[in-house]
């Protein structure tokens, strides 16, 4: 009788552990681009339908402004805007990355600098800006910050300087 009781308790513990493990897997799926959720950098936001997810992907590919007013643009469009002279080019890579090659005319504001936010906040908010980094991750965050400070017009180079060079545009050393 005692042995059966121990086996029954052991079985109950195993079942409870399995339930907890399954709940953990469900939570992981919930946060990892499954079950109608999309992960964008560090932000997790709910996508109600497959249609909304497809629309968001299409908007990103076509460079449509998001709810912050930031626009992702191709290297060709970025160059076209830069060539007008009406935009301030901002390279937010490290000084070492900047020295290894940058888009001509770009200023360097190091995303990893302790005073990065302060430097961005001191830029003229009425000017138009073209941001880029190496691959597009840092510049996206910098653009969000620029929109937070109410800059009038901000664009991001889709794919960063890697994409710029991939289509054959030159960098200055």
Q: Supply the residues annotated as catalytic.
A: 133
Name which of 168, 154, 172, 173 is nearest 75 in CA terms. 168
Q: Cβ contacts of residue 48 below 8 Å, gap of 6+?
A: 36
Residue pair 131/158 in contact by the 8 Å Cβ criterion: no
Residue pair 66/59 in contact by the 8 Å Cβ criterion: yes
Distance of CA 136 to the CA centre of its chain: 7
Residue pair 79/165 in contact by the 8 Å Cβ criterion: no
**Separation CA 131–CA 146 (nearest Å):** 10
How many helical (H) and strand (E) elements, i.e. helices and strands, does the chain have?
7, 7
């Amino acid at each position: 009788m005692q042995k059966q009781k121990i086996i029954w308790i052991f079985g109950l513990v195993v079942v409870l552990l399995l339930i907890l493990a399954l709940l953990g897997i469900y939570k992981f799926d919930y946060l990892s681009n499954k079950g109608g959720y999309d992960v964008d950098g560090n932000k997790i936001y709910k996508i109600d339908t497959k249609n909304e997810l497809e629309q968001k992907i299409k908007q990103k590919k076509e460079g449509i402004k998001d709810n912050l007013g930031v626009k992702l643009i191709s290297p060709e469009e970025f160059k076209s805007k830069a060539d007008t002279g009406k935009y301030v080019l901002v390279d937010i890579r490290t000084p070492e990355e900047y020295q290894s090659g940058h888009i001509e005319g770009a200023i360097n504001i190091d995303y990893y600098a302790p005073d990065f936010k302060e430097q961005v906040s001191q830029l003229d908010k009425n000017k138009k800006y073209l941001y880029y980094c190496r691959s597009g991750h840092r510049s996206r965050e910098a653009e969000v910050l620029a929109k937070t400070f109410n800059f009038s017009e901000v664009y991001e180079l889709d794919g960063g300087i890697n994409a710029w060079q991939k289509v054959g545009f030159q960098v200055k050393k």
